[in-house]
Amino acid sequence: MKITNRQYDMKKLLISLTALLGMHSYALQAASVGPYTIDAAATASSITSASNMATSTGNGSAITDFDVTTFVSGNPLGSIGLGFDNALFNQTGDDLAFYFVRAAGEPDTVDFGLDINGTTNNYAASLFTYVDPADGITKKYQIDFGSGYADMFIATVELGDFFVTGTDSISALTMTNLNSTDRLALAAGFNLTAASPVVVPLPAAAWLFITGLGALGVISRRRVKH
């Protein structure tokens, strides 16, 4: 069947609209939080356990709602288990981000432990600052709570430190050693898909060797026939 120019133009329009809708859908699922763009599907979705912890909302589900203005706070040696609806994979570079909020005058670092698959490592979240392009001044990233502002602290984590390979994934973790000023506001991953396997091309000499083996096989079969 012959396609007319009008049909071709309509097809192009439909393809363009589909692409735009797809981009819009993705935009609704992702947001810029501090220095990173975070996909809502990769954030902590449930609190699986808690010890010496209190939520900002009292309903036990802060931290899981993709909103850094709600948080959980720990007492000394507080711990919290977090579950993810979608598997998080290890790829090149850091794979997880943890956001904390702190009021003015509180300590300048956030120290915590992280347990994944039975391996525990210690981390420190740092104050996030940026250079304002409007005036070139270094400023803090702050969150407006209505009654005041809080500074944002961020720690990133490489899953390889927990022996998670590029084809393995995690769906849960536990944060430990949290105290009353360690207000955990968001936990999220960067990778919802496994890393693509690295294909290493064979050198030319290897191809010649394989070709030679194939030729020997053909000659061998011919001799058997005779």
| Domain locations along the chain | 30-189
CA 151 – CA 53 distance, rounded (Å): 21
Are residues 53 and 67 in contact, defined by beta-carbon separation less than 8 angstroms? no
Average pLDDT of the residues in 121-129: 94
pLDDT band at 144 (very low <50, low <70, confident <90, very high): confident
Are residues 130 and 35 in contact, defined by beta-carbon separation less than 8 angstroms? yes
CA 27 – CA 190 distance, rounded (Å): 15
CATH 2.60.120 fits 30-189, yes or no: yes
**Token duo for residue 151:** 């500074």
Inform me whether the pLDDT recorded for 97 exceeds 90: yes
Inform me whether the pLDDT recorded for 155 exceeds 80: yes
Q: What are phi and psi of 207, to 5 degrees?
A: -65, -40
Say how many CA atoms lie within 13 Å of 192 toward its Cβ. Answer: 13
Which residues is 168 bridged to in the sheet?
A: none
pLDDT in tens, 14-54: 334 333 333 333 344 678 888 888 899 999 999 999 999 88
**Token duo for residue 59:** 């309903």
How many C-beta atoms surround the C-beta of residue 10 within 10 A? 12
Name the DSSP letter for residue 43: B
CA distances from 50 to 95, 120, 196 (A): 23, 17, 36
Q: pTM for this one?
A: 0.74
